[in-house]
Amino acid sequence: LIEFEQVLAAAAAMYREELGSDPFAVGSGIPFRRRVARSLARGRTWIGVDDGEVFFKADVAAVSPWSAQIQGVWVRPGRRGAGLGTGGIAAVCAALQAGRLTPSLVVNGSNAAARSAYRRVGMVDVVDYATVLM
C-alpha cells in the first residue's frame, strides 16, 4: 500500500528538479501538501510502484470536455533511462484517450530526455516553452 508521504516525496522531488525551489518553503508546505492530496483524491495522480517504492509520477492537472493536461511527470533518478517514463506516460495517455480526451502537456524545451520520451508515445512539439521564476 502506497502512503501519501511517498507520493508527496515524489512530487516534491519533481518540483525541486523542475523549478529549483523548495515546495515546502511557502506556508510550511501546507499549500503544496493540499495540492498533492487534492490530486490524489480526484484520481488525477498516476504512479508506478515497484517493491513499495514510487518510481514514476504524473498528474492530470486540467481537464476540458476535449483534452487533459498532464504535468508533474517524474521518474526516480536511479531508474531513469530504462523506459519507465515512456511507459508511464503511454499508460496515462491511453487512459485519457479511452475517455475520449486528447492528452497534452507542457515541457521545458531544454528537457531533451523528457521530450524524447513524449515523442516515443506519439506526442509532437507545438511551441517552445521555458519556466521562469521571479
Q: DSSP for 12-75, please give it.
A: HHHHHHHHSS-TTSSGGGHHHHHHHHHHHHTT-EEEEEETTEEEEEEEEEEE-SSEEEEEEEEE
Q: Domain total for the chain?
A: 1
With 70 as the cut, is the pLDDT of residue 123 above it? yes
Residue 37 lies in a domain: yes
Q: Running DSSP on this structure, what letter comes out for residue 83?
A: S
- Asked whether residue 100 is assigned to any structural domain, the reply reads yes
Domain CATH code at residue 14: 3.40.630.30
In a domain, 126, yes or no: no
| pLDDT band of 120, cuts 50, 70, 90 | very high
Could you tell me if residue 30 is inside a domain?
yes
Would 129 be classed as within a structural domain? no
In this structure, is residue 133 part of a structural domain? no
**Residue 12, domain extent:** 4-120
Report percent pLDDT > 70 for the chain: 95
Tell me, yes or no, whether 15 lies in a domain. yes
pTM of the model: 0.88
Provide, rounded to the nearest whole percent, the portion of the chain with pLDDT above 90. 72
pLDDT digits (tens, 9 = 90+) for 16-42: 998 889 999 988 899 999 999 999 999
Whether residue 42 lies inside any domain: the answer is yes
- Neighbour-count burial of 117, counting CB atoms closer than 10 A to its CB (0-12 exposed, 13-18 middle, 19+ buried): buried
